[in-house]
């Protein structure tokens, strides 16, 4: 019998899944597009992923040694889905456990992402879930 999916459907489903590199590129482009000053030096997106894949983030960028808040309203909501997918892919099998990340970006497109396990955040979420 089979799975009930035609070859065309399976191909479509595979296309919905992004590679980690595609996720990074989309996040970087979204951050860059949200910055209102052409003379920025570095931008950061602080990310939290908590229970059931809930994603929160804030950000800022540097202009002439001044920190300016990044308007997260200018970042597409798709970023949440990309971050959920990134979390799922990078933590599969119980490896590389993280619940916070810092995505740093420079104007030339270079980026770095630091994955962090924040036990205090985890404990707070657990405590709130029980109340």
Dmax (CA) of the chain? 64
Q: What is the pLDDT of residue 74?
A: 94
**CA–CA separation, 69 vs 46, rounded Å?**
11
Whose structure tokens read 């599969």? 92
Q: What is the pLDDT of residue 64?
A: 93
Concatenated DSSP letters of 72-131: GGGS-THHHHHHHHHHHHHHGGG-S--SEEEEEE-TTS-EEEEEE--HHHHHHHHHHHH-
The pair of three-digit structure tokens given for residue 65, joined into one six-digit string: 């040694």
pTM for the predicted model, two decimal places: 0.82
Q: Which residues of the chain have pLDDT under 70?
A: 1-16
Q: What is the pLDDT of residue 69?
A: 95
**CA–CA separation, 86 vs 4, rounded Å?**
28
Q: What is the pLDDT of residue 92?
A: 84
Those residues with Cβ within 8 angstroms of residue 86's Cβ, 6 or more apart along the chain or in another chain = 20, 23
For the chain, list the domains and their CATH numbers.
8-130 (3.30.500.20)
């Amino acid at each position: 019998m089979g799975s009930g999916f035609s070859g065309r459907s399976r191909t479509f489903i595979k296309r919905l899944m992004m590679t980690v590199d595609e996720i990074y590129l989309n996040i970087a482009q979204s951050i860059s597009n949200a910055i209102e000053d052409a003379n920025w030096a570095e931008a950061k997106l602080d990310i939290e992923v908590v229970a059931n894949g809930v994603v929160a983030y804030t950000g800022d960028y540097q202009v002439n040694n001044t920190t300016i808040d990044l308007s997260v309203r200018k970042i597409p909501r798709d970023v949440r889905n990309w971050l959920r997918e990134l979390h799922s892919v990078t933590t599969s099998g119980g490896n590389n456990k993280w619940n916070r990340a810092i995505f740093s970006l420079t104007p030339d497109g270079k980026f770095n992402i630091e994955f962090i396990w924040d036990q205090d955040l985890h404990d707070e979420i657990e405590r709130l879930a029980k109340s």
